[in-house]
Structure 1
Amino acid sequence: MATDTSLIETDFSVAPDVGAPDRPAWGAVLSMSLGVFALVTAEFLPASLLTPLAEGLQISKGAAGQAVTATALVALVTSLFVSVLVRGLDRRWVLMGLSVLLIVSNLLVASAPGLGVLLVGRILMGIALGGFWSLSVATVMRLVPEDSIPRALAIMFMGVSAATVFAVPVGSYLGALIGWRGVFVAATGLAVLALFVQSVTLPPLPAQGSARMGTLFQVLARPGIGIGMIAVLLVFAGHFTFFTYIRPFLETVTGVGIDGVTAILFGFGLANFAGTYLVAFVIERSLRLALILLPLVMATLALLLTSFGGIPMMDAALVALWGLVFAGVPVSWSTWITRSMPDQAEAGGSLIVAAINFAIASGAGLGGALLEVSGPRGVFLASGLILATAVLTIIGRVRTS
């Protein structure tokens, strides 16, 4: 899942001030960043390789897009239950085991003879993604002293930013050179490197405390939280309905070849990287403004592309603007969590992760069905309408104070 990692911390058994070392383990923090980079890169690859992957397996693009759906659904379930399932295990071995799972996933996809093996590989990817993300932030908090936590988290988040900038366009470009199977083999090598660095640098991290599922339901029952999660689901569903099928749109509507697709996706990634920093100015002015403005701009962009798409320079600019704006969505909702439930920010973050993964699955699934029926313009129209519904929900029901 390509989301802002400040949202993700579902290992309820670990607190920032529990078991913090006297000296920071920066090598271990770097290994976590590398693991995040390998995971997010693998997560993004189907979006950049959708067309050649579908052709290579002799399936429709809509069917190939269900690889994204499968990953997200499994990541959703894993993110909710992993802390309970591994509550007695050393986190070092759990994280390394999830990296092994990522390696197996990439190898299965690279050698897949058809849709069935592809989906199995992406299901394993979902387990690795949901599990690693759910444990990563709490793990980093145990690797450094309390005053070094912000810096350590920033280093880990670099893995997401790097994947956002490079994974999709580079995956698309390499797919033209070495084929989509070769790209997944390369992703396997990246996962092997991450596993090696983890094995060398991660210290023993015994489980602490006891994880309980009841906290999630207690938080969800609070006034205003449930409707907020519905708004989160709508915003991210609108985005992933758009993003999962962006390549077919660029190829068939915009009319660009592989070089054009790569350049436009690279522009999206660079703009997304910049947006993570620019959104802070909007949030400082008004969190409510950010929550409303960002999906409103995205809805407008989706409808503009639906109605007027087909001019390469214009489409490239609109896609880049989408990347810039979307970067602020996870940050703004993360801020909403900290203000709406400061006493249960970890549980709130877990619910956000679940909502996002459900949105990825539903957005990719809906988009795949629409792609078969109405083509890429129909997919983008649906994205715009979902985002418009999100805006109305936020205006009418979501509280920010």
Structure 2
Amino acid sequence: MPFALWALVIGAFGIGTTEFVIAGLLPAIAADFGVSIPVAARLATSYALGVFVGAPALIILGSRTSKKSMLAYLAGLFVMGNLVTALAPSLEVAIVGRLITSLTHGAFFGIGSVLAAEMVPKEKRVRAIAFMFSGLTVANLVGVPVGTWLGQQFSWQVTFYAITAIGLATVAAVLVLIPATPKPKPQPFGHEFAAFGNPKVLLAMGITVLGPAAFFTSITYIAPMMTEVTGFPESAITWLLMVFGAGLFAGNWLGGHYADRALMPMLYGTLLAQAIVLFVFHFVAGNQAASVVCIFLMAAFGFATVSPIQKLVMDKAKAAGAPTLASAVNIGLFNLGNALGAWLGGWVIAHGFGFSSPNWAGGLISLGALVLAIASGLLDRRGAAMGKLKAMQVH
């Protein structure tokens, strides 16, 4: 892989750490601000919603800025947002900080996905995108557990100061490693927006919303689930999040390695497997060993869908005339799904279904994503069959 991609990996590491570390810090944040855990989880839902809104807005605002400059500006915004969160005197100010940080997420990955794909041959594009997303997986393998540990040993604010430092490193890496990129030509964004009415694009984006949202429904509440239901001590959350991170790492490799060969079959298999694991997790949440296995597997099957889904949307959107905007919007949709998952997990807990209930709720979401994936595959087959029929009629 081109060495310049490491700048994207570092940025992805910081973004992944700030997004997912909330799962390990929720009890401490809730106690510090004197609110319930579902209320403190607004730090997760606000972040996810901010990504959804911020991604297209920043892509449009930066449409005449080079990819390198845009990535540097986004990394600077990331630094500002995490610093505001760390200094927040109240939950409301912390949410503002999270919203500022979230503006970076979608545009960074959207631009980064396009840039990564442009740097490699066509047959390696999913692997290049997966390489960038490996920063997310390493964040969950190392950054999130270390951030959780820092929060437990010192304070959750210290965790966000550390993430701010990662943001500064990202700014430096982008400026040093990414080669100069030309300013894009003015684009008719009305044409790009029109592409979002394409059924194939909409189906692919629907998979984006529901696919990874399934495991986010569970992982957002993993700390109270593991301490209240499974019986782990609070100190175990750090290494349990490392297990989750290892699953993400394995899933990212799985998706990047095999999706270039058979993208849709890969999606069918991983979405079904994710649903099965989450349903099983609900019933075995009281068993420590089984819970550890389920945490790893739900992360692996869940994240195996991410780079294939991103490539699927990019392909459909490129054919419909909206490659860059759709790439960024799709990252926002991943996080809209995360917000949906965090909200649904909090809803089932708040309505008395227990701390293990986010697992079966996530399983239902994964089945919904599978239905959309099958519909997308059938639409592709129908289009291919129509194309062959027309070709036969011509001859």
TM-score (norm 1): 0.82
Identify the match of residue 378 of structure 1 among 354, 357, 364: 357
Seen in structure 2, the aligned counterparts of structure 1 residues 279 and 104 have a Cα distance that, compared at 3 Å, is: closer
**Cα 1:331/1:257, change in 2 over 3 Å:** same
Query: Which position in structure 2 is the counterpart of 1:289?
Result: 265
Any idea what SS the aligned residue of 1:364 has?
A: helix
Q: Report deviation, 1:340.
A: 4.4
With over 3 angstroms needed to count, the CA separation of the structure-2 counterparts of 1:93 and 1:342, relative to structure 1, is closer
Of 20, 33, 36 in structure 2, the residue corresponding to residue 44 of structure 1 is 20
Encode CA deviations 1:34-55: one digit per residue, 9 max, x unaligned.
2222222112221221111111
* Superimposed CA distance per residue, residues 235-260 of structure 1 (whole angstroms, 9 cap, x where no aligned partner): 23322212222222112111112332
Residues 1:300 and 2:279 aligned together? no
CA offset digits 1:310-362 (Å, max 9, x no partner) = 11111001111112211211133235346645534545534432321221222
Task: Report deviation, 1:62.
Answer: 0.8
Q: Of residues 217, 223, 228 in structure 2, which corresponds to 1:241?
A: 217
Q: Deviations over 1:132-154 (max 9, x none)?
A: 22322445578x6979x969767
Q: Distance in 2 between matches of 1:363 and 1:390?
A: 13
Q: 1:227 and 1:266, CA in 2 relative to 1: closer, same or farther beyond 3 A?
A: same
Is 1:97–2:73 an aligned residue pair? yes
Which of 131, 155, 177 pairs up with 2:107? 131
Task: Show the counterpart of 2:287.
Answer: 311
Amino acid at match of 1:362: L
Q: Deviations over 1:104-154 (max 9, x none)?
A: 212221122221111000000111222322322445578x6979x969767
Is the aligned partner of 1:56 residue 2:32? yes
- Identify the range of structure 1 (160-169 vs 265-274) with the bigger mean alpha-carbon deviation: 160-169
Pick from 368, 381, 384 the counterpart of residue 389 of structure 1: 368
Q: For 1:121-200, what aligned pairs fall within 5 Å after superposition?
A: 121-139=97-115, 156-200=132-176
Q: Secondary structure at the match of 2:65?
A: coil
Per-residue deviation, residues 35-93 of structure 1 (Å, max 9, x unmatched): 22222211222122111111112111111111111111121122112222122335444
Question: Retained in 2: the 8 A contact 1:292–1:391?
Answer: yes
- With over 3 angstroms needed to count, the CA separation of the structure-2 counterparts of 1:91 and 1:71, relative to structure 1, is same
**Pair 305,342 (structure 1): closer, same or farther in 2 beyond 3 Å:** same
User: Equivalent residue for 1:231?
Assistant: 207
CA deviation digits over 1:195-229, x for unaligned, max 9?
Answer: 23444555654522123433443333224432332
Q: Could you say which residue in structure 2 is the equivalent of 1:120?
A: 96
* Other structure's SS at 1:248 match: helix
The unaligned stretches of length 5 or more in structure 2 are 382-395
Query: AA paired with 2:265?
Result: L
Distance 1:36 1:228, change over 3 A: closer
After superposition, the CA RMSD in angstroms is 3.1
The structure-2 alpha-carbon separation of the partners of 1:298 and 1:156, relative to structure 1 and needing over 3 Å to count, comes to closer
- Per the alignment, do residues 389 and 160 of structure 1 end up closer, same or farther by CA in structure 2, a change over 3 Å counting? closer
Is 1:265 aligned to residue 244 of structure 2? no
Does 1:320 find its partner at 2:299?
no
Instruction: Indicate if the aligned counterparts of 1:84 and 1:212 stay in contact, CA closer than 8 A.
Output: no
Equivalences, count: 376
Q: Is residue 219–residue 347 contact of structure 1 (8 Å, CA) maintained in 2?
A: no
Letter of the 2:334 counterpart: I
Higher mean alpha-carbon deviation, 32-41 vs 277-286, is at: 277-286
Distance 2:62 2:183 in 1: 8
Matches of 1:63 and 1:186, distance apart in 2: 24
| Residue identity matched to 1:246 | I
Checking the alignment, whether the CA contact within 8 Å between 1:172 and 1:258 is kept in structure 2 is no
Q: Distance in 2 between matches of 1:145 and 1:390?
A: 30
CA positional deviation for 1:186 = 1.2
Three-state SS of the structure 2 residue aligned to 1:310 is coil
Counterparts of 2:177 and 2:251, CA distance in 1? 32
Q: Aligned partners of 1:378 and 1:185: how far apart in 2? A: 33
Amino acid corresponding to residue 45 of structure 1 in structure 2: V
Give the secondary structure class of the aligned counterpart of 1:368: helix
1:349 to 319, 327, 348: 327
Quick check: 1:363 aligned with 2:337? no
Q: 2:350 is aligned with what amino acid?
A: E
Structure 1 unmatched runs, 5+: 1-23
How many percent identity over aligned positions?
A: 26
Amino acid at match of 1:320: F
Contact 2:282 2:359 survives alignment (8 Å): yes
